[in-house]
């Protein structure tokens, strides 16, 4: 990558991109599933009681009771992890995207960031003891440590450019690495030198596990399974009972092991079992509710598997039967969420799903809606009175907080997508084929209003009993539609949209200022109650699903791929919190104050914040303090790639230069506004003459320096 970077502007672009991923969770936490909902990809047990699993967006969960309960641990970074290993009950290491390495010496109570010297994604890590370890990853990356990760040394002896997926120690000297294109590397000197061995396959190998002193099995693409009995010098293909990719394999002893893989049609997950050290394999039925990708055999009977959406599965009989350990109130598609107070809220979804909380989402209970139709939206009138709408003209109402839901006659059969109330009496619901229905008596009776077309109407907002806005799109042209009324809906007038594409959500900050969002990052804003609209710059290109305002200045937008945007100036500008906690498609958001809110999404995702989505917690291992700035720099002696890491204590203008002995400065980061967090970036020392330099870091009047030596080449 360094060969593509020329000059400070490109360095800044890379830095800002990385910083979004390295920044600690932006104030959002999981309420469903638990302990968290990010995909888990790797799991390791150091003994029958202590295990750790890692995954997306810095997810780390730990058990100290044999897997009965799991607690989330704090990560100092927000990159996704790919591998984890514990040398003993206290010392553990996790690796992941962009050269991420974190380390613990207290069983995960705290994790600290380690410098890898690379931005290549790391996929696997293994330690022989607390000091000696190997990490491998993309583009043939092999890193070695002899001091517990205080320093990692790159090893280019493999001369391999393929992605390396798994590494394991056979003993202190003998180590096996497997990767794409059937690549197998073997070391007999503790990782200093590597030999390439024939695997007899060109399929990618995703995992390798040790079954005995010189015995092990590698699994991979297309169900391939190969076995060695001589420490990796030779390999033989094993009979595989699946064509699905096998993503992980684990042995509890010399004979008992399990391999697992991706979901295939008609089967929740692929699972193979051996009782003879991998010589033969038999199929087992997997009961996993999502694709399982990581496995740990703790004993001949105790097996754990992890996978998508926070899945943790436990087997007590060697994998014949599985029980979910992670908990979830639902994995169904959720449609919308609304709170009447900081503690009382309701969520609606498919198949008549209604969830209720009275403790701010700490726990959710299902309510009996009496319907099996998809409920798409709700309007909370007060703590007891709620109106919901859905498919085929469905309207339900409760006046006792959801203890009982009563159907109402909408007078239409079209799907209703949205409902809003201006007060206890006046409400409007909109939906397919230009459908608009209106009530003036609290939903007892609904009358049809004319929209003047057949557009798909997606959302409605009522500023008061007379003034309202509807947004949607024309299904034929996909052009956005904006309708406005000033007479309680007796007439609806079409307004001009300055943007192309579907419009799906509208919200008002006050009587005059409103925001509309839509596909491909469309944000529109009005200051005249919706008569005219102007486009607003969106920091992402993802499609947006929902917008809400908690007061005249503070608002939040959510959308696909974990999009979360926040404004504190009434929607003029939007701060990007995207990628702070999940990849999932987020569909709705509700705030009861500027700081307290909930987000829902696919697969039953429920997120909560009490800080407005802002991270107010320093990441473990670093002090995000204005005065105490952390800085570190490492250089790869082979490629001359330099990785510089530093912290920013609060949002401010940051400028970094390299200053030589003659006090001539070369900017490596042009002045840029950066948020509080941990940052790193890469550049090449080849762009600098050999000699002594200093990093000069300036942020908000604070100046710090760090020595840096460019070695003769």
Provide DSSP, 375-417: EEEEEE-SSS-EEEEEGGG-EEEESSTTSS-EEE--S--SPEE
More confident residue, 506 or 328: 506
Question: According to the model, what pLDDT value does residue 265 have?
Answer: 55
Closest by CA to 208, choosing from 200, 217, 196, 199, is 217
pLDDT of 621 above 60: no
Average pLDDT, the chain: 87
Strand partners for 186: 176, 195
- Can you give the pTM of this predicted structure? 0.77
647 pLDDT band (50/70/90 cuts)?
confident
More confident residue, 82 or 157: 82
Q: Supply the CATH classification number for the domain 33-324.
A: 2.130.10.10
Residues 665, 667, 670, 673, Cα dihedral to 10°: -70
81 pLDDT band (50/70/90 cuts)?
very high
- Domain boundaries in the chain? 1-24+618-713, 33-324, 334-421+472-479+496-609, 422-471+480-495
Q: What distance in Å separates the CA atoms of residue 496 and residue 214, rounded to the nearest whole number?
A: 72
Instruction: Give the mean pLDDT of 390-398.
Output: 96
Question: According to the model, what pLDDT value does residue 288 have?
Answer: 54
pLDDT of 133 above 70: yes
With a pLDDT cut of 90, the percent of the chain lying above it is 59
Question: According to the model, what pLDDT value does residue 18 have?
Answer: 33
Q: What distance in Å separates the CA atoms of residue 400 and residue 384, rounded to the nearest whole number?
A: 5
More confident residue, 702 or 126: 126
Question: According to the model, what pLDDT value does residue 117 have?
Answer: 85
Contacts for 265 with CB less than 8 Å, ≥ 6 apart: none
More confident residue, 446 or 615: 446
pLDDT in tens, 490-501: 999 999 999 888
Contact 76, 34 (CB under 8 A): no
Contact 574, 539 (CB under 8 A): yes
Written as six digits, the tokens of 357 are 């909380």
1 pLDDT band (50/70/90 cuts)?
very low
Instruction: Give the mean pLDDT of 513-521.
Output: 95
Question: According to the model, what pLDDT value does residue 6 have?
Answer: 25
**334-421+472-479+496-609: CATH, from 2.120.10.30, 1.10.1660.10, 3.40.50.970, 3.40.50.720:** 2.120.10.30
Tracing tokens 């490596």 back to the chain, one arrives at 668
With a pLDDT cut of 70, the percent of the chain lying above it is 90
Q: Alpha-carbon torsion 340, 346, 349, 351, what sign?
A: negative
Question: According to the model, what pLDDT value does residue 391 have?
Answer: 97
Question: According to the model, what pLDDT value does residue 448 have?
Answer: 96
Of 129-143, 447-461, 673-687, minimum mean pLDDT range? 673-687
The DSSP secondary structure of 654-681, one letter per residue, reads EEEEEEETT--EEEEEEEEEE-SEEEEE
Instruction: Give the mean pLDDT of 440-467.
Output: 95
Instruction: Give the mean pLDDT of 95-114.
Output: 92
Q: What distance in Å separates the CA atoms of residue 549 and residue 567, rounded to the nearest whole number?
A: 9
Instruction: Give the mean pLDDT of 433-445.
Output: 95
What DSSP designation does 267 have? B
627 pLDDT band (50/70/90 cuts)?
low
pLDDT in tens, 406-427: 999 999 999 999 999 999 999 9
Provide the edge-to-edge strand list for the sheet that holds 375-380: 375-380, 386-390, 395-398, 406-408
Tracing tokens 């839509």 back to the chain, one arrives at 518
CATH 2.30.31.10 fits 1-24+618-713, yes or no: no
Question: According to the model, what pLDDT value does residue 262 have?
Answer: 74
What DSSP designation does 18 have? H
Q: What distance in Å separates the CA atoms of residue 465 and residue 483, rounded to the nearest whole number?
A: 16
pLDDT in tens, 147-199: 999 999 998 655 668 999 999 999 999 999 999 999 999 999 999 999 999 99
Question: According to the model, what pLDDT value does residue 626 have?
Answer: 63
More confident residue, 430 or 119: 430
**334-421+472-479+496-609 shares the fold of 1-24+618-713:** no
Most confidently modeled range among 14-18, 103-107, 645-649:
103-107
Q: Which H or E element spans position 449?
A: strand 447-449
């Amino acid at each position: 990558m360094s060969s593509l970077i020329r000059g400070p502007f490109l360095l800044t672009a890379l830095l800002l991109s990385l910083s979004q991923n390295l920044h600690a969770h932006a104030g959002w936490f999981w309420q469903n599933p638990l302990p968290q909902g990010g995909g888990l990809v790797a799991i390791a047990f150091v003994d029958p009681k202590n295990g750790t699993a890692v995954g997306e967006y810095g997810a780390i969960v730990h058990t100290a009771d044999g897997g009965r309960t799991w607690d989330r641990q704090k990560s100092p970074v927000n990159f996704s992890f790919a591998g984890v290993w514990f040398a003993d009950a206290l010392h553990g290491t996790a690796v992941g995207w962009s050269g991420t390495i974190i380390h613990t010496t207290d069983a995960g109570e705290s994790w600290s960031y380690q410098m890898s010297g690379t931005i290549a994604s790391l996929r696997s890590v293994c330690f022989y003891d607390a000091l000696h370890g190997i990490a491998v990853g993309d583009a043939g990356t092999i890193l070695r440590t002899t001091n517990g990760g205080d320093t990692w040394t790159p090893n280019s002896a493999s001369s391999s450019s393929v992605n390396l997926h798994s590494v394991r120690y056979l003993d202190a000297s003998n180590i096996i690495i497997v990767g794409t294109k059937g690549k197998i590397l073997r070391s007999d000197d503790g990782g200093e030198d590597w030999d390439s061995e024939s695997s007899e396959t060109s399929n990618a190998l995703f995992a390798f596990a040790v079954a005995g002193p010189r015995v092990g099995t590698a699994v991979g693409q297309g169900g391939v399974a190969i076995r060695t009995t001589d420490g990796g010098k030779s390999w033989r293909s094993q009979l595989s009972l699946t064509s699905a990719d096998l993503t992980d394999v684990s042995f509890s002893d010399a004979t008992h092991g399990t391999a697992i893989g991706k979901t295939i049609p008609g089967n929740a997950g692929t699972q193979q079992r051996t009782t003879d050290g991998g010589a033969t394999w038999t199929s087992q039925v997997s009961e996993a509710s999502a694709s399982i990708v990581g496995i740990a055999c703790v004993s001949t009977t105790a097996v754990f598997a992890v996978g998508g959406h926070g899945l943790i599965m436990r087997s007590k009989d060697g994998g014949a039967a599985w029980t979910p350990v992670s908990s979830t109130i639902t994995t169904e598609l959720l449609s919308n969420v609304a709170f009447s107070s900081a503690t009382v809220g309701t969520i609606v979804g498919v198949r008549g799903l209604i969830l209720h909380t009275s403790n701010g989402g700490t726990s959710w209970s299902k309510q009996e809606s009496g319907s099996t139709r998809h409920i798409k939206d709700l309007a909370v009138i007060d703590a007891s009175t709620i109106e919901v709408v859905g498919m085929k003209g469905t309207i339900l109402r409760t006046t006792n907080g959801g203890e009982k839901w009563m159907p109402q006659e909408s007078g239409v059969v079209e799907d209703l997508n949205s409902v809003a109330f201006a007060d206890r009496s006046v409400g409007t619901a909109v939906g397919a084929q230009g459908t608009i229905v209106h009530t003036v008596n609290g939903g007892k009776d609904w009358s049809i209003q004319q929209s003047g077309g057949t557009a798909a109407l997606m959302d409605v907002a009522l500023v008061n009993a007379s003034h309202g806005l509807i947004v949607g799109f024309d299904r034929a042209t996909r052009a956005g539609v904006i309708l406005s009324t000033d007479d309680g809906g007796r007439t609806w007038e079409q307004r001009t949209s300055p943007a192309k594409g579907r419009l799906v959500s509208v919200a008002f900050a006050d009587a005059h200022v409103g925001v509309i969002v839509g596909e491909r990052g469309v944000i529109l804003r009005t200051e005249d109650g919706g008569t005219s609209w102007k486009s607003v710059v969106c920091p992402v290109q993802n499609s947006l699903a929902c917008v809400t305002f908690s007061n005249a200045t503070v608002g939040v937008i959510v959308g696909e791929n974990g999009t979360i945007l926040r404004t504190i100036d009434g929607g003029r500008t939007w701060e990007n919190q995207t990628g702070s906690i999940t990849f999932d498609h987020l569909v709705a958001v509700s705030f009861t104050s500027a700081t307290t809110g909930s987000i829902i999404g696919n697969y039953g995702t429920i997120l909560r914040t009490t800080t407005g989505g802002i991270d107010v917690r320093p990441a473990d291992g670093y002090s995000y303090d204005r005065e105490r700035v952390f800085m570190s720099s490492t250089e790869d002696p082979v490629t001359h790639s330099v990785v510089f890491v530093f912290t920013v204590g609060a949002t401010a203008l940051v400028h970094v230069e390299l200053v030589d002995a003659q006090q001539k400065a070369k900017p490596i980061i042009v002045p840029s506004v950066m948020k509080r967090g941990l940052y790193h970036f890469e550049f090449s020392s080849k762009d600098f003459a050999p000699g002594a330099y200093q990093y000069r870091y300036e942020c908000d009047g604070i100046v710090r320096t760090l020595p840096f030596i460019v070695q003769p080449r």
